[in-house]
Structure 1
């Protein structure tokens, strides 16, 4: 795939792909005779994995650390696994926070339905003169 196709596939810009490659988050992509990037299936798998980590809040610094460990080979598997396990814990915490936030929003919606526009949060504009 070329860079246009990859950008479209992952719903990101070409400049983001170039940025990630330049900064070592994505390995150097092979080029054709015209110097256009040619992404392999392996490249696409890594980009998807990276975007999933990034999308769940892992920092670029932590992703780069993970990449450096990956380059270390089999000896770093346990440490890489620990990084992912720790990240799953953070994701689970975020999920619980989102569930609580969703419940608060549902309470507000119910209050709107039951009391026709009354907000659970009182603002100065809600006061009647």
Structure 2
């Protein structure tokens, strides 16, 4: 009886192995960074930046200033083998509806909570909001 059950589950395990290996490879892949160079003002040659120049070229964002890194996308496996990815704030699209001066409702889709706050407050910065059509 045990051998019979083992023979049933062995092919399933063999089929799941490539998916597990692919998932661990994608999680283990380190983030790659590009090379940063500056042009020397005196000679015009490219060189590595000094520590002060490197800090000036990479301003700290709110998340890094607070010491909190943005969460990496997380793979979730649901019942029945369904897989989905939780993107966090990075993948959020907000639908903001405001009433214009003429009384008509204006809808816009914006990316991120900061852009949504600006849209609600009426600060329509050029390029901050993008018009998108979302179909279901």
Pick the TM interval, shorter chain: under 0.3
Q: TM-score, normalised by structure 1?
A: 0.22
TM-score by length of 2: 0.21
Structure exhibiting the larger radius of gyration computed from Cα positions: 2
Choose between structure 1 and 2: higher helix proportion. Answer: 1
- Whichever structure has more strand as a proportion of its residues is 2
